[in-house]
A and B are shown apart, each in its own frame.
Chain A
């Protein structure tokens, strides 16, 4: 879908800039990185991501990579997951991490917050049904703990369960007989209400990509 030509001209850059809010310079840097990752190709596939060496030790690597292929992150109306993505999609996903400009209205801030949280929510919600079920959540915790070897799957489950109790309690799930299916996005927003995500989920995209440590090793 919409993969760009190998050398997008400045006009397309401008389009993208408008769509994602990145500056032209940032787009250029990211595009260079994109080409680096894709080995000069126009599309990125999962294996390209898997080749990033510094990503290898990230416990939630799989989720992150999936997030790039999750169509819901491209636009709210989409569903399912893609097999390959073009530069535009790459940029759209990346734009979730763009620092908001300091001068924005409260309304805008709220929207940004929502978008960012939606991204995380989508990441947890692996089956895409709009609910983070206990199973989804367990999966997340398990992955998170997968690096501290001594704590096995069982601990992860216990923690996920405990977290779910909390959730059920905090969202005011009163009736103990009722089954708490999972966290909806609304609940998710509520749960993380004092989590200043709009100022934390940011990455500076200013530096150029001269990164000697980040070589590909395909």
Chain B
């Protein structure tokens, strides 16, 4: 690491000479050089790459020590790292060759961060608190700018700063660039303290939006300064105010439009899945640049672009693309953030910018702290009169204290025009000091403060399905009560918006297939299922087989009572089943699987497509890890996983055979008598759906193995309700579908009496095992992993015999 830094310094310091030398060499060359050193040729991209590398290494180094990052936020450490680097470069060059230029910052480093924050914004939370956020962001920022500028000017008039040439307008300009709370710094610090989500969104949302506001404010004042004090009249001021709103809202609107465009586009990118994620980045960046071009607020534009498209993109795009976007977004944002902090540190080590003016610097620090607090208190006091859940005093303190200034302020300060503002260097260095003060000092003390004040922390709870259901019930209930009581409240507006969205936006922006899965409840369900599958497969791997699932004691408890209880508890299902099975005997026999049957049917409809890809992916990862024999083909446009059916089958066979070897002995004792009974029921269906039953192996050495494995209930593609098998437990609906779309669903003529048909010959279990839809094996895991009885149940020796009778 340090070697790298040194190398970098050498390179940078040696660069001029070397390039010179290289030039000379080039002229004198007479023959063909086999290798030539062309530093000049690659200089700038090389330096950029090395700098990025160094910054990343810095981060690596810092993150390696969790003991330190527990106390000092990463951002502060990165700045310190920047100091060191800057010192080294300074020592080598005697002049600061590298610093954060506004162009680099505003065009390359900032957009990814902003896009990421917009894209991963918790929308509901953001919009519920939008009022408070806007008030803090707009009024609060204006307040900060105005008070800081005016107070400094007042102190100046009072003679606190000695002899400097700064007029009122310049002070206001300075105030406006100082006013913004920096989202980068805020996230960096608040991410580590985990305050409650309302507080977080208030601080964070404010910092995000007020960046836009500051830039606008800065531009307005900048224009005023250029005009000069005398030329400003009422008209100009009004124009300034109007432009403020136009710029801010125009930027947001532009972002919104880009977001919609993006969502529309994502409807039809199915065929170019590989570059699908790229659209987000390119369009997001374009929205930033377009806003910049139209002199609208580019920050607001890109943030709103992210906010608008996230929902639609996430449901339109393929699961892989979503993951890609998420990760790539984080890579860019986190990388930029790292670079920003490091460069903030590096920029400090430069003699040229340091101009010391005790009065100016200390007063600035004092005022931004004081006015931030005053502003927060006044605004929240006003807001609390209208808020249902008032913001507590403790939260207000944290909000005030969370007013970290950051790179945006620095970027703007560097942007100042030296010909108009004589004291630019003073301003830049004060800004840097303020940034260091807030990020390092306040950042470090934030955590102890939060602990000391006992700020309500965020609960890190896993989402349970029931909570999700309750949440939903809740929302609807509040809306209903508002309707009944005739109030127009927040819920009312939200409801209107949701109706509108459901009616128009979704139709326009979502793929038809994605629209189906819009429901939140459904999503949680989906997540849980996926999680189960992972656990399940992992468990299987741990044990070396998926055999454990056949342990049928892993039933859902509430289903587990005797048939009589069922009739009481679930008359509707019993009725259903009675219809289906046409008889009490059938009912008796299938008493247990009620849930699985119900689930089974539903998966025939909605879930198939949804789960297909995920589950495929999942299984590719988990089931065949040991025997990955994928034929990797290079293709730029396709990222195929092995889809050759025969090959997969072959792998499968081999894996299974080897598993069999290890299980054969233990297996025999478990439940041999079941085999026959099961087959009598299963046989007719199991072979049909795949249309490839090859009744050859019956009774051979593969028999037990397949029996054991068959218990997991793979054959689920069959559209009757009789597919239940003993030992399958409650089947997981999500993993039931026959995921092999190529296997046609043959509904055989003898289907009608399929369930009753008794075939004493144990047929080809083999055929089932051969089904390429390897997924089927997952079916029963829901019970096994979710119900929590799993652990004990798996360890139960053999299920009591009477239970077998129950469901056979």
- The chain A residues found within 8 Å of chain B, CB to CB, are 30, 33, 36-37, 49, 52, 54-55, 57-61, 64, 68, 94, 97, 99, 102, 120, 123-124, 133-135, 140-141, 144-145, 147-148, 150-155, 157-159, 161-170, 173-181, 191-192, 194-195, 199-205, 207, 209, 211, 213-214
Q: Which residue of A lies closest to B478 (CB)?
A: A203
| Assembled-state Cα–Cα distance A155/B486 (Å) | 34
Residues on A with beta carbons closer than 8 Å to the beta carbon of B555: 176
The reply to whether A33 and B486 form a contact with Cβ atoms under 8 Å apart is yes
| Assembled-state Cα–Cα distance A174/B601 (Å) | 29
Residues on A with beta carbons closer than 8 Å to the beta carbon of B782: 162, 165
The reply to whether B480 and A144 form a contact with Cβ atoms under 8 Å apart is no
Binds A, one of B256-264, B433-441, B564-572: B564-572
The reply to whether A192 and B487 form a contact with Cβ atoms under 8 Å apart is no
Q: B370 to chain A: closest CB distance in Å?
A: 27
The reply to whether B557 and A179 form a contact with Cβ atoms under 8 Å apart is yes
Residues on B with beta carbons closer than 8 Å to the beta carbon of A60: 473, 476-477, 480
The reply to whether B599 and A166 form a contact with Cβ atoms under 8 Å apart is no
| Assembled-state Cα–Cα distance A135/B568 (Å) | 10
The reply to whether B489 and A155 form a contact with Cβ atoms under 8 Å apart is no
The reply to whether A120 and B469 form a contact with Cβ atoms under 8 Å apart is no
Binds A, one of B56-64, B97-105, B668-676, B786-794: B786-794
The reply to whether B488 and A151 form a contact with Cβ atoms under 8 Å apart is no
Other 8 A-B pairs with CB < 8 A, given A37-B484, A166-B465, A181-B558: A61-B480, A68-B484, A155-B602, A157-B595, A157-B602, A159-B469, A169-B789, A176-B789
The reply to whether B484 and A150 form a contact with Cβ atoms under 8 Å apart is no
Q: Which residue of B lies closest to A206 (CB)?
A: B487
The reply to whether B570 and A134 form a contact with Cβ atoms under 8 Å apart is yes
Q: Pick from B470, B480, B556, B565: contact of A120, CB below 8 A.
A: B470
Residues on B with beta carbons closer than 8 Å to the beta carbon of A201: 474, 477-478
Indicate if B561 sits at the interface (CB-CB under 8 A): yes
Most buried by A among B472, B515, B521: B521
Whether A55 touches B483, Cβ cut-off 8 Å, given contacts A134-B570, A154-B605, is yes
The reply to whether B599 and A154 form a contact with Cβ atoms under 8 Å apart is yes
The reply to whether B786 and A165 form a contact with Cβ atoms under 8 Å apart is yes
The reply to whether B789 and A174 form a contact with Cβ atoms under 8 Å apart is yes
| Assembled-state Cα–Cα distance A46/B474 (Å) | 21
8 A Cβ contacts from B480-518 to A: 480-489, 491, 495, 499, 502, 515-518
| Assembled-state Cα–Cα distance A213/B499 (Å) | 14
The reply to whether B605 and A152 form a contact with Cβ atoms under 8 Å apart is yes
| Assembled-state Cα–Cα distance A35/B175 (Å) | 56
Indicate if B554 sits at the interface (CB-CB under 8 A): yes
The reply to whether A159 and B483 form a contact with Cβ atoms under 8 Å apart is no
The reply to whether B483 and A175 form a contact with Cβ atoms under 8 Å apart is no
Residues on B with beta carbons closer than 8 Å to the beta carbon of A162: 465, 525, 528, 782, 786
The reply to whether B484 and A55 form a contact with Cβ atoms under 8 Å apart is yes
Write out, one digit per residue, whether chain B residues 549-585 have a CB within 8 A of any chain A CB (1) or not (0): 0000111111111000100011110000000000000
Whether A102 touches B390, Cβ cut-off 8 Å, given contacts A55-B484, A201-B474, is yes
Contact count A vs B, C-beta below 8 Å = 220
Q: A103 to chain B: closest CB distance in Å?
A: 11
The reply to whether B521 and A166 form a contact with Cβ atoms under 8 Å apart is no
Indicate if B388 sits at the interface (CB-CB under 8 A): yes
| Assembled-state Cα–Cα distance A146/B786 (Å) | 26
Indicate if B757 sits at the interface (CB-CB under 8 A): no
Indicate if B753 sits at the interface (CB-CB under 8 A): no
Most buried by B among A54, A134, A153: A54
Indicate if B16 sits at the interface (CB-CB under 8 A): no
A-B CB proximity, top 7 nearest: A154-B602, A180-B558, A179-B561, A169-B788, A150-B516, A209-B486, A163-B465
The reply to whether B464 and A148 form a contact with Cβ atoms under 8 Å apart is no
Residues on A with beta carbons closer than 8 Å to the beta carbon of B606: 150-152, 154-155
Q: Which residue of B lies closest to A159 (CB)?
A: B525
| Assembled-state Cα–Cα distance A59/B792 (Å) | 40
Indicate if B107 sits at the interface (CB-CB under 8 A): no
Whether A202 touches B388, Cβ cut-off 8 Å, given contacts A154-B602, A176-B793, A209-B487, is yes
| Assembled-state Cα–Cα distance A9/B20 (Å) | 99
The reply to whether A55 and B557 form a contact with Cβ atoms under 8 Å apart is no
Q: Pick from A140, A153, A174, A214: contact of B486, CB below 8 A.
A: A214
Q: A114 to chain B: closest CB distance in Å?
A: 15
Residues on B with beta carbons closer than 8 Å to the beta carbon of A97: 478, 481
The reply to whether A199 and B389 form a contact with Cβ atoms under 8 Å apart is yes
The reply to whether A163 and B469 form a contact with Cβ atoms under 8 Å apart is yes
Residues on B with beta carbons closer than 8 Å to the beta carbon of A200: 389, 474
A-B contact pairs, 16 of them (CB 8 A): A49-B484, A58-B479, A64-B484, A124-B473, A135-B570, A140-B469, A144-B476, A150-B517, A154-B599, A154-B605, A163-B466, A167-B466, A173-B558, A192-B467, A203-B478, A209-B486
| Assembled-state Cα–Cα distance A34/B605 (Å) | 45
The reply to whether B485 and A203 form a contact with Cβ atoms under 8 Å apart is yes
Indicate if B149 sits at the interface (CB-CB under 8 A): no
Indicate if B71 sits at the interface (CB-CB under 8 A): no
The reply to whether A134 and B569 form a contact with Cβ atoms under 8 Å apart is yes
